[in-house]
Amino acid sequence: MTFHSGKCLCGEISYQIDGDPVAAGVCHCKNCQRQAGSAFSTLWGIPKAAIQFTGAMPKCYLDGDTASGGQVSRYFCGNCGSALYSEVPGQKDILYLKTGTLDDTDSFSPDFHAWCDSKQSWVDIPDGVTQMARQ
């Protein structure tokens, strides 16, 4: 079994993952761009049962102004503001971890890109990687 760990920028919230992600992707929706302060958000789909958080409790922003119409719960460190993970409607057993918080980011390789209809024009997606206009 693979073990992964990570933390927020200030270290108040850390986590350990027992196992590998069930999904690895990049989200180009405008809300992920705003949350990340970047062109996209890199994500691992992690079964909630496989991840353990320690330290401070993350704060949650309920994002109801989404292109999908569903309310996304966006969790972040209340001290440093690091985005940690999101939960989406209809996937109650999975959280979407922001992979920039991993201690070792070398293992991240996206299988798909979602919401490409709002992708920044200068972002190039490699051939052979699944691209979805929306989700």
Environment class of 64 (CB within 10 Å of its CB; exposed 0-12, middle 13-18, buried 19+): exposed
Report strand pairing: 112-114 vs 130-131.
parallel
In tens, the pLDDT along 87-108 reads 988 899 999 999 999 999 998 9
Q: Which fold has domain 3-131?
A: glutathione-dependent formaldehyde- activating enzyme (gfa) (3.90.1590)
In tens, the pLDDT along 49-63 reads 999 999 999 999 998
Report strand pairing: 72-76 vs 83-87.
antiparallel
pTM for this model (two decimals): 0.89
Please name which of 40, 33, 28, 23 lies closest in space to residue 111, comparing C-alpha atoms.
Answer: 23
Domain map of the chain by residue range? 3-131
Environment class of 133 (CB within 10 Å of its CB; exposed 0-12, middle 13-18, buried 19+): exposed
